[in-house]
Amino acid sequence: MNVFSSLVGQEHILRILQDAVAASCKDDESHEMTHAWVFTGPPGSGRSSAAVAFAQALICPNQGCGACNECQSAATGGHSDVEVIRTEGLSIKVEEIRELLTRVAWAPSMGGWRVVVMEDADRLTESAANALLKAIEEPGTRTVWLLCAPTLHDVLPTIRSRCRHLQLRTPSLEAVTNVLKNRDHIAPVMADFAARVSQGHIGRAKYLATNETVRTNRKTIMQLPLQLGSLAAAFQAAQTFVDLATTEANASSDERNQKEVEKLQKAYGKGATSRGMATGVNKAVKELEKEQKSRSTRMVRDSIDGALLDIATFYRDVMMVQSGSTELMTNTDMREQIESHAANSFSHSTINKINAIMEARANMALSVAPLVTIEALMCKLAIK
Ligand SMILES: [Zn+2]
């Protein structure tokens, strides 16, 4: 077991990363380290896990053993030479990058490398990207930048042209099932179900396999395409869809928000009565709540996007039945309903419906009000 064993189905990039780590240890000029990398891959392929594993290996004296202090503190965010930037908001602003650059301007404390992992490089604003560009281009630095994004097109051209690109793959159904069984000790039948309906998204698969409420919500969402008999029903389905996705997102953020506020109040000394302290803490809590609100917005969007992808698998299965191939059906638990839906509709209309779902996903990203977008979608799905 080393840090790279957490990468599932990514054998094609493993060698590149291990070679880079080996070369980075030799301090001679002929092995010049690449200072900026972009990890791309579909959601759930583990691009940020790959970047973090690489960061661990770069600072570990044993090239990523996974067991030493360096490896462990880097993974939990406690290593002074490894910084993992996770975005809570919808964009990364130039002020945040400037602040980051002053933090990483120091030489690495252990004398090796300083590594910055940026999980959502696609959320950099243009001015933030320009500020970052200067740092990436600086010669002779000991900082290595590991940027993550869904695709290379999501990274601004100026940045991506200076990075080495690694493309992660969607892990196979078998690979995900095995991880759930062997790493997370999930029962085989559940592991198989969760891996299949999560379409290679390991995090989502684990979440589904270990959370009954999430499974129940998914089931309700998957039944919606069968309940679109009238326009009124389509509007009702849209409301149910948005409510469920929002509740799921809020359930995970509410508890976290509360903890953060308590931690902040504690830092200020809870019950501080002097006027100065009270004003300070109130202001800080207000700032925090603003950030939390923007994070919640993002989580609701992610949750809606996940539910849209779930519904898309229904129509994909319908299309498969209509084209006569059912071996790769995702929702085998709904086989009967899918077959009956396929018999009562035309394949060209199924394709239109899948397109409509993809269009709704794109509209969501353009910050259209969720309910309006989903209502329009359900009306399209209701057409025979
Ligand atoms: Zn180690």
Give me the pLDDT at residue 20, please. Answer: 92
Eight-class DSSP state of 35: -
CA of 39 to the centre of ligand 1 (A): 22
* Contact criterion met (CB below 8 Å) for 12 and 168: no
pLDDT tier at 274, thresholds 50, 70, 90: low
CA–centroid distance, residue 184 to ligand 1 (Å): 23
- 11 CA → ligand 1 middle, Å: 20
pLDDT above 70 coverage of the chain, percent: 95
- How many whole angstroms from 58 Cα to the centroid of ligand 1? 9
Over residues 273-290, the mean pLDDT reads: 74
Residue 276: which pLDDT band, with cuts at 50, 70 and 90? Answer: low
**SS3 call for 181:** helix
Cα-to-centroid distance, 113 and ligand 1 (Å): 14
Residue pair 171/10 in contact (Cβ under 8 Å)? The answer is: yes
User: Distance from the CA of 70 to the center of ligand 1, in angstroms?
Assistant: 6
Residue 271: is its pLDDT beyond 60? no
Rounded to the nearest angstrom, the distance between the alpha carbon of 72 and the centre of ligand 1 is: 7
Is pLDDT at 32 greater than 80 in this prediction?
Answer: no
Instruction: Give the CB-side neighbour count of residue 329, counting CA atoms within 13 A.
Output: 22
Distance 242 CA to ligand 1 centre (A): 44
| 57 CA from centroid of ligand 1 (Å) | 7
Higher-pLDDT residue of 264 and 312 is 312
d(CA 26, CA 30): 9
> What's the rounded Cα separation, in Å, for the pair 12 and 18?
11
pLDDT classification of 273: cutoffs 50, 70, 90: low
pLDDT at 256 over 80: no
- The DSSP string of 108-176 is PTTSS-EEEEETTGGGB-HHHHHHHHHHHH-TT--EEEEEEESSGGGS-HHHHTTSEEEE--PPPHHHH
**Local confidence band at 239 (pLDDT 50, 70, 90 cut-offs):** very high
Among the listed ranges 22-36, 60-74, 178-192, 369-383, which one has the minimum average pLDDT value? 22-36
Distance 33 CA to ligand 1 centre (A): 20
Residue 38 pairs with which residues in a beta bridge? 147, 165
Banded pLDDT at 379 (limits 50, 70, 90): very high
Do 222 and 244 meet the contact criterion of CB atoms below 8 Å apart? no
Q: One-letter amino acid identity for 15?
A: R
Ligand 1 center to 29 CA (angstroms): 25
The secondary element (H helix, E strand) that includes residue 262 is helix 231-268
Do 380 and 356 contact (CB within 8 A), yes or no? yes
Rounded to an integer, what distance in angstroms lies between the CA atom of residue 299 and that of residue 308?
A: 14
Mean pLDDT over each residue of the chain, to the nearest integer: 88
Q: Write the pLDDT tens digit of every residue in 144-193.
A: 999 999 899 999 999 999 999 999 998 889 999 998 998 889 999 999 99
Q: How many angstroms does the Cα of residue 47 sit away from the middle of ligand 1? A: 20
Return the H-helix or E-strand segment holding 38: strand 36-40
67 C-alpha vs ligand 1 centroid, how far in Å?
A: 5
Cα of 68 vs centre of ligand 1, distance in Å, is 4
**What does the alpha-carbon distance between residue 111 and residue 316 come to, in Å, rounded to a whole number?**
53
Order of all β-strands in the sheet with 143-149? 82-85, 114-118, 143-149, 36-40, 164-167
The closest of 219, 317, 349 to 227, measured between CA atoms, is 219
Q: What is the DSSP code (8-state) at residue 40?
A: E
* Residue 59 scores a pLDDT above 80: yes
Tens of pLDDT, residues 104-151: 887 788 768 999 999 999 989 999 999 999 888 887 778 999 999 989
Task: Give the lowest-confidence range in 79-83, 292-296, 309-313.
Answer: 292-296
Q: How far is ligand 1, taken at its centre, from the CA of residue 59, in Å? A: 8
3-state per-residue secondary structure call for 48-90: HHHHHHHHHHHHCCCCCCCCCHHHHHHHCCCCCCEEEECCCCC
CA 118 / ligand 1 centre spacing (Å):
21
Mean pLDDT, rounded, for 242-256:
85
Half-sphere exposure of 35 (CA within 13 A, CB side): 16
What is the CA(41)–ligand 1 centre distance, in A?
A: 26
